[in-house]
Structure 1
Amino acid sequence: MAMNILIVDDDQLARQRMRQMLMRCGTGLCGVVEEAADTGRATGLMRHRRFDLLLLDVQMPGQDGLELASSLRYWTPKPAVVFVTGHSQHALQAFEADAVDYLTKPVRPERLERALHKAASLCRTPDMPIEEVEESLRVVNRGRAQRLPLSEVLFLRAQDKRLLAVTSRGSFMLDGSLVELEKRQPGHWLRVHRHTLAARHAVQSLHRSATENEEVSGWHLSLRGTAERLQVARRMLGDVRSQLGLRPN
């Protein structure tokens, strides 16, 4: 089957070389091939297209490739990951993050093709459709239903058996559950509490403050577009820090 592949590397020449190697690989292995210079851009692309395989560098500015790979366990469906890096010392961490393979630069064509065959054996079946991620939520505003662009939503909160979608211009009610939205929009939301999802694109920083509440970690997320800070549950703090790659302030 032809796989949709995303090359994630901060080195433009490395991305170009990898694309050329993919074009020379056996027919039927490569479908759409796109590129990202960092993990933030990669995450944005993955929200709009289903990729079967990530060819992922390790060391990049901001969140590194290992952190991105670890965060993919929350995605459904989860793309396969093959690390392509000049650093051999990260192999153990890579396989702990469920990597399919680990290639060191310079990559030999036959070694790349072997990794592609490994990834293809784990990917979706050929008849599984590629679906676009929903770009809006159906909300109620002053008694009337309307579509709210997903890009405007800063966070969602479960409230009185319904959901509250908070934006910089106000709040809107909608039906559904947080779990359902996590599945419908994989990678878009970050679970910070049992009743709260933060939009990843809105996250600005992670802060600590004193607390005596055993369920609350004492950490809060600051979001762009709102003065409200979101409490991070103690049991979710590790996942939040891992997924965002943020250094706490």
Structure 2
Amino acid sequence: MAGGEEILAGICDDSSDELDRIEEALQTGLVKLGSPAKICCARFLDGETLYAASREQDFQLLFLDIEMPGLDGFALAERLCLDRPQTRLVFVSRHESLVYDAPEYMPLWFVRKSRLERDMYKALRQYFRVTASTRVTYRLKDGFSFRDVPVRDILYVECSGHRITICRTDGSRLEKYGSLKAMEGELAGCHFLRIHKNYLVNQEYIKEVGKREVYLTDGKALEMGRDRRAAVRDAMIQYEKGSYGY
């Protein structure tokens, strides 16, 4: 795990006391894992406020109480799955039977309030497992030196002739010369998917696979190779199963 990594997490529960318990269990789980990462928690007493905040902040982890007045955990998750599919969701509830309704929202984990510390530890362990590849960096030659680009910051890679353009999540672009096949090999194991002879895409940011295009979470649509659709769809199914623990 990367030293000093900062994780922005949101916790939503309609009880201040429960927010205290969840945050304490979260920090305790981090210590038990022996992780050098730091988790910064934003606390919310209702789903609407958290949802509004999620439009402005890039939460990596969200802990949602299922039973809340107004916008409950499941309804909130439904919105977030559409708007922020890259955010990992963890449901928290004192009613264990609700776990059977949770999978359709593809949560990372289900935390029982009766087993808060134990389940929180497992949820964090799963988070670090499924996001391990996003914490590595790609070393890019920059003049006479090198620069490290976090893999999670790469949205997709585009090739035009021998020019490679690395398109980042913040809208910036980096360029190098080479082949897309070579870069595909360099990024092997980091969940990048070849969707076209000219495009290599970070699977974390693929929102939908269409008939001829792949839609990204930032609204972009990239052309997909006509003979690649089945392979791309299968790869995304496997990626989602691995990412959400199913």
**TM-score (normalised: structure 1):** 0.49
Q: Which has the higher helix share?
A: 2
**TM-score (normalised: structure 2):** 0.49
